[in-house]
Amino acid sequence: MRKAKSSSKPISRKCLSLKLAAVALVCGLSSAFAAIPAKPIGAKTSVEAMIRSDLVSFRKEKRADFQSLVKKWERVYGSRSAPTLLAIAEDKKSPNTDRYVALLAHTRIRGPHDAKELVALLDDRDWMVRSAALKSIEILGYAPAGAKVLDKLANDRALVIRLQSIETLEKLRPPGTPDALLKAAMDGKNYRPGNFRKGRADWVPQRALAALRELRPLGYAPRLLPLMNESKDGRIRAHALHTIEILESKSLKQGRPFRERAAAWTATLQASR
C-alpha cells in the first residue's frame, strides 16, 4: 500500500525564523500585559487586598515588627491607607489580631483627629479591639472619650480592659477620675472571691492605687482607711498605707511594723475629720 503524500511543504529556514520571532513577540506581550495590575495600584480594593495580605503574613511571622509594617504602609500608600485600615478595624468578620493591628496602625498613620470612631469601638464585642481603641485614645489624648473610659473602668466585663482603662485615664484625667479609681480599688469585680474584705486583688486595685499616688488628689487619704485596715489581701493593705503617705506627703512611725504605722495613720486621719 502506497503512503499518502503530505500536503504540507517543507518550511524554509527563513520562514521558521520569522515564525519563532512572532511567537516570541506574542509571548513577550502576554507577559507584559500580565504584569499590569487589573486595577490601578491606588484603587481602594487593591490597597485593601495588599494590606490584608500583609496582615496575614504579620500573623504568621512571629518575629514580625509592627513598626516596620506601619512604616512600609506609610511609604507605599501614604495617607491613603488610613481609611482602609479603619475599615478593617471595624470589620467584625476580620480576625481580631488583624483588627487590633489595623486600628493601631490607623492611629499612627492618620495622627491627631476627631476620633469619634474610637469611642464606638470601646463597645466592640472583642476585647482586643477595645484594647486597641483604648490605646489609640491614650496616644491621641482624645479628651472627649473621657466619660466612656470611666465607664470602661467601672463596667467592662474584661479584667484586662478595666486594668488598661486606668492607664488611659491617667493620660486624659477627666473629671471624676479620682473617685473612679478609688471605687475600682474597692470594687468586688476586681477581687476573687467577693470583695476586698474577703478576696485577693486581681491587679486592678493595685494599679488604681498607684494612679491615685500619681494624681495626688486632695482629701482622699481618709477614704483609704478601709482598704488599709480591712482588706484581706496584705498587698492591698500595704498599697493603701503607701498611698496615704504619698497623699499626705509624710510618714508616721517610719521603720516600725505595719500594724503600728497603720494605727498611727488611722488615729491621725480620724482626728482630722
Give 192's strand partners: 200
Average pLDDT, the chain: 86
Residue-number span of the structural domain to which 152 is assigned:
122-175
Residue 241 pLDDT more than 70? yes
- Give the closest residue to 108 by CA, choosing from 82, 146, 129, 77: 82
Answer yes or no: is 21 within a domain: no
Q: How many residues does the chain have?
A: 273
- Alpha carbon 93 to chain centroid distance? 18
How many structural domains does the chain have? 3
pLDDT at res. 12? 44
Answer yes or no: is 117 within a domain: no
For 99-144, the pLDDT digits (tens) are: 999 999 999 999 998 899 999 999 999 999 999 999 999 999 999 9
pLDDT at res. 273? 80
Beta-carbon contacts of residue 92 (< 8 Å; ≥ 6 apart): 124, 125, 126
- Give the closest residue to 269 by CA, choosing from 243, 234, 244: 244
Cell numbers standing for residue 194 = 467577693
Residues 148 and 165 in one domain: yes
For 188-197, the pLDDT digits (tens) are: 999 999 899 9
pLDDT at res. 60? 87
Answer yes or no: is 1 within a domain: no
In the numeric block, the cell 494590606 is attached to 51
For 95-110, the pLDDT digits (tens) are: 999 999 999 999 999 9
pLDDT at res. 61? 84
Q: What is the band of 215 on the pLDDT scale with cuts at 50, 70, 90?
A: very high
For 38-48, the pLDDT digits (tens) are: 344 444 458 99
Answer yes or no: is 10 within a domain: no
What distance in Å separates the CA atoms of residue 234 and residue 60, rounded to the nearest whole number? 43
Residues 188 and 240 in one domain: yes
